[in-house]
Amino acid sequence: MKLYDKILLLTTLQIVAIFIFGIYQIQSLYLTQKKAFDQKNLIQIEMIQKRFEEKLIELQKTAHILINSQEVITGILSNDTDMLYNWSKLFLSSSIDKIHFIDLDGTVISRGEAEFRFADDISKQFYTQQALLNNTFLGIDRVDGEECLVYTERVKQYGEKPIGIISVALVIDHEFLSSLVEGTTMSLAYQSEHQSISTAKERTLINASSLSLMLQSGSINDATFSIGLTSEKELLALKEARTNFFLGIALALIVLVIALHFTLLKYLKEYETLAQVLIDFYEDRLDIKDVIGKIKLSIHKQPTTEIKKIAEALFNMSQKVSDTQNALELLSSTDQLTALANRRKLEEYLEQKLKESNRGNFFSIVMLDIDRFKVINDTYGHEIGDHVLIHTANLMQSVIRESDMLGRWGGEEFLLILPQTNLEGALVMAEQLRSKIYHYQFEHYPQRVTMCLGVAEYRVNDTPNSILRRADHALYRAKNNGRNKVEYEN
Amino acid sequence: MKIKRLLSTLLLLCISLFANEKIVFGVNPYKSLTELHMIHAELIAYLEKELDKEIVFVVSKDYNHLLTLIEEGHIDIASLSPKLFATSRQKGMQTHYLATFKINDDQEHARCTYHSLIVTHKESSIQTMSDLKHRSFGFTDTQSTSGYFYPRLLMRQNGIDPQKDLGKVYMLKKHSKIIEAILEKSIDAGAFYEGTYMTLAKEKQEKIRILATSEEIPYDAMVASKRLDKALVSKIHDLLLKFHSTQSKPSSIAGFGEKPLFLYDKLNQLE
């Protein structure tokens, strides 16, 4: 696996692990919050239930206070509307809307909420009848045309003799429902056969449940108090926050992986390129020159100093290796005296030309030998002999084409390989060489130097030996024909 | 409100015990506290100025309660309803009669006497006193002269036994409340003193049918506690007779006059 892939995979795994932990934490937090939300709702429902019960208790308590007042008893006995009105007015509050004093015939003696309205017959009212029959009534009934929570109790003189009835009522209206749910996030709805009211703007309540009420069944049917949430805004906000967190995390994960990918690409690609160059070199897919070339190219693209330094170091090392290799190669293929190609190099080149000739190329060779070179050595010494060899080589080198290869075949004998040259061209070149040498005045050798040159043209199915033999035969003939000649073997 | 009034009364009484320079003035609760304050404001201001003493105004819980307060010495001077004054005299209660109220009638005449009225709603089927049988009726207070005793007398004079012939009977204490209850049709008929009728707006008067009017009744009597210094009693007596109200609207206090006490005593014959 590539270094890039390894780092990307490992880092991605770690990031994913961190994010999974984050998601787990968010989910845990959400569940905790959801639990708290449900708990809060439950507490609120209980609170509203309690408030409702307190309202009922308040009704009963007020009725009991009034019932136990001697003045009220006197007032009922004497039909003292004014006194009863004054007493009841003291107890009217946000929890009590109506206080009625009723005689045993079911006629209203006084209304706390309406000073001048009394003396009407309400004996047919369910709550009046219930109080007359069962002593008390606590339930829902219509009082003066309004649906109320009503508590009714018989008033007894000396605790025994019934003298009248007190009814204490709280109108079931929007205000009443609002007072119960005030300060909470809950909504309360009242539904009966006659009316339907709610503190919620929307008709339907979410997660609605009924308030548990210990009320006596009254004349109002299907009366229920439902409590529930108007909207799940809070919960939805919680869910939305969770979703946003998740989306944020997913997005962050993607962004991080992409960022990681590009960072790795940016910083590892060059390392990888350098490593690949070295691997290719190691596995012989590249030679040292290619390595140098590739590293040289990458040096200019390096984004960081660190990689640039490494690349430069590799470049210098490769350069040194290349130089050493070149030096060694040169050493192994060059004649030390004349700096021309040595025999091995000539043989390799000849082999090469023969292979190329099989694909249609042609060439010629010229075998060259300095005439009577032994005399030069013997007469003027080896130093002058070497001087002649060096300058002869230089002269020939100056004449031949760049594509031609001239080398020292051995002693005073040279071999010239002429690619893409037929016999005629080779003869022209050979004659130029002979003439050049012949007319050249050596610095330390006063005599003319002559050469014999044997030319041979490539033939089909030639081998190195066969073509060299023909060139050699031509050279031999030039020697035999008086030297300083060009001969060819046709 | 009654309890509040009672508490304020007691508080004022307590204050009065420790402050000799104050005079406590008590009245019957025949109207609301605010109305009573308004009615007596000018008189109180006059007395305060002339006597150079603070007047503490007290409204009793009910009619009889005012007598109790006088007897117990909590009240120095009081305005007693005619019947109540008669009752107090009959009981032998030691008080000084100071003067009788003069009240403006609807013709702006200051009068020391007035009438009790029995009325019904104009839309009611009750046309005469005899129609009151088995109909609901509103009295003010069992101690009220014009709101209870005289109406009952009028009924008896018209062949109706108020004990037996009436339907439901309610005690409404305040004269104005009788009117409102009739207009509201809570009661079929009721009784009150004519001053209440006089102060009614025209449109309300037009909705009322007067069934009977009583003979002349002396207005409330101003009395002083026996415990009050005689010189001070005499001074108050003189001051009351000198008092002349600047107001002339119906049912307001115009001044004071002196009436023979037998006029009051004969109210004791009423049942």
Q: What are phi and psi of A215, to 5 degrees?
A: -110, 145
Give the closest of B136, B138, B171 to A78, CB-based.
B171
d(CA A349, CA A258): 56
Q: Determine whether the interchain pair B136/A87 forms a contact, defined as Cβ–Cβ distance below 8 Å.
A: no
Question: Sign (positive/negative) of CA torsion B172, B178, B184, B185?
Answer: positive
> How many angstroms away from the CA of A55 is the closest CA of chain B?
24
Collect all residues of chain A within an 8 Å Cβ-Cβ radius of residue B2: 71, 83, 86-87
Over 50: is that where the pLDDT of B7 sits?
no
Collect all residues of chain B within an 8 Å Cβ-Cβ radius of residue A78: 142, 171
Give the closest of B2, B168, B183 to A83, CB-based.
B2
Q: How many CB pairs under 8 A join A and B?
A: 56
- Measured in residues, chain B has a length of 271
> How many angstroms away from the CA of B39 is the closest CA of chain A?
21
> How many angstroms away from the CA of B169 is the closest CA of chain A?
7
Over 80: is that where the pLDDT of A30 sits?
yes
What's residue B186's pLDDT? Answer: 94
The yes-or-no answer on residue A53 being catalytic is: no
Model pLDDT for residues B182-195, shown as the tens digit of each residue: 999 999 999 998 88
Instruction: Give the list of residues 6+ apart from residue A66 with CB closer than 8 angstroms, or none.
Output: A72, A87, A88, A91, A99, A166, A168
d(CA A366, CA A452): 10
Summarize the confidence of residues A410-415 as an average pLDDT: 94
Half-sphere exposure of A324 (CA within 13 A, CB side): 7
What's residue A215's pLDDT? Answer: 84
Collect all residues of chain B within an 8 Å Cβ-Cβ radius of residue A120: 186
ipTM of the complex: 0.71
Q: Determine whether the interchain pair A116/B173 forms a contact, defined as Cβ–Cβ distance below 8 Å.
A: no
Q: Tell me if chain A has a CB within 8 Å of the CB of B33.
A: no
Collect all residues of chain B within an 8 Å Cβ-Cβ radius of residue A80: 170-171, 173
Number of H helices, E strands in chain B: 10, 14
- pLDDT band at B18; cut points 50, 70, 90: very low
Is the pTM value of this prediction over 0.95?
no
Give the closest of A86, A87, A119 to B186, CB-based.
A119
> How many angstroms away from the CA of B224 is the closest CA of chain A?
28
Give the closest of B1, B183, B187 to A89, CB-based.
B1
What's residue B1's pLDDT? Answer: 46
Select the residue from B35, B137, B170 to test the A interface by mutation, using most A Cβ atoms within 10 A. B170
Give the closest of B2, B170, B174 to A119, CB-based.
B170
Q: Which amino acid is at B73?
A: G
pLDDT above 70 covers what percent of chain B? 93
Q: Tell me if chain A has a CB within 8 Å of the CB of B43.
A: no
Identify residues of A whose CB sits under 8 angstroms from chain B CBs: 71, 78-83, 86-87, 89-90, 103, 107, 109, 115-120
Q: Determine whether the interchain pair A90/B3 forms a contact, defined as Cβ–Cβ distance below 8 Å.
A: yes
- Nearest residue on chain B to A79, alpha-carbon basis: B170
Model pLDDT for residues B21-66, shown as the tens digit of each residue: 799 999 998 888 899 999 999 999 999 999 999 999 999 988 889 9
Collect all residues of chain A within an 8 Å Cβ-Cβ radius of residue B180: 115-116
Over 70: is that where the pLDDT of B3 sits?
no
Instruction: Give the list of residues 6+ apart from residue A273 with CB closer than 8 angstroms, or none.
Output: A294, A298
Collect all residues of chain B within an 8 Å Cβ-Cβ radius of residue A119: 136, 168, 170, 181, 186-187
The mean pLDDT value of chain A amounts to 90
Q: Which amino acid is at B145?
A: T
What does the angle CA A371 – CA A377 – CA A381 come to, to the nearest 5 degrees? 150
What's residue A260's pLDDT? Answer: 86
What's residue B9's pLDDT? Answer: 52
What's residue A203's pLDDT? Answer: 64
- Nearest residue on chain B to A77, alpha-carbon basis: B170
How do beta strands A451-457 and A363-370 pair? antiparallel
Collect all residues of chain A within an 8 Å Cβ-Cβ radius of residue B35: none
d(CA B154, CA B151): 5
Report whether B217 contacts B150 (CB < 8 A): yes
Over 50: is that where the pLDDT of A415 sits?
yes
Q: Determine whether the interchain pair B173/A83 forms a contact, defined as Cβ–Cβ distance below 8 Å.
A: yes
Summarize the confidence of residues B94-107 as an average pLDDT: 88
Summarize the confidence of residues A255-261 as an average pLDDT: 88
CA distances to A117, A412, B79, B141, B214 from B178, in Å: 11, 164, 22, 11, 17
- pLDDT band at A349; cut points 50, 70, 90: very high
Model pLDDT for residues A310-327, shown as the tens digit of each residue: 888 888 998 998 889 888
CA distances to A238, A292, A314, A334 from A320, in Å: 69, 10, 10, 21
What's residue B15's pLDDT? Answer: 46
What's residue B19's pLDDT? Answer: 47
- pLDDT band at A97; cut points 50, 70, 90: very high
Model pLDDT for residues B186-244, shown as the tens digit of each residue: 999 999 988 889 888 999 999 999 999 998 889 999 999 999 999 999 999 999 999 99
What's residue B5's pLDDT? Answer: 55
Helix runs in chain B, H state only: 2-17, 33-51, 63-71, 82-90, 150-157, 175-183, 194-198, 202-205, 230-242, 262-265
> How many angstroms away from the CA of A141 is the closest CA of chain B?
23
Q: What are phi and psi of A263, to 5 degrees?
A: -65, -45
Over 80: is that where the pLDDT of A486 sits?
yes
d(CA B151, CA B145): 8
What's residue B207's pLDDT? Answer: 95
Summarize the confidence of residues B254-269 as an average pLDDT: 90
User: From the candidates A270, A412, A487, A489, which is the catalytic residue?
Assistant: A412
Q: Determine whether the interchain pair B169/A79 forms a contact, defined as Cβ–Cβ distance below 8 Å.
A: yes
Report whether B203 contacts B229 (CB < 8 A): no
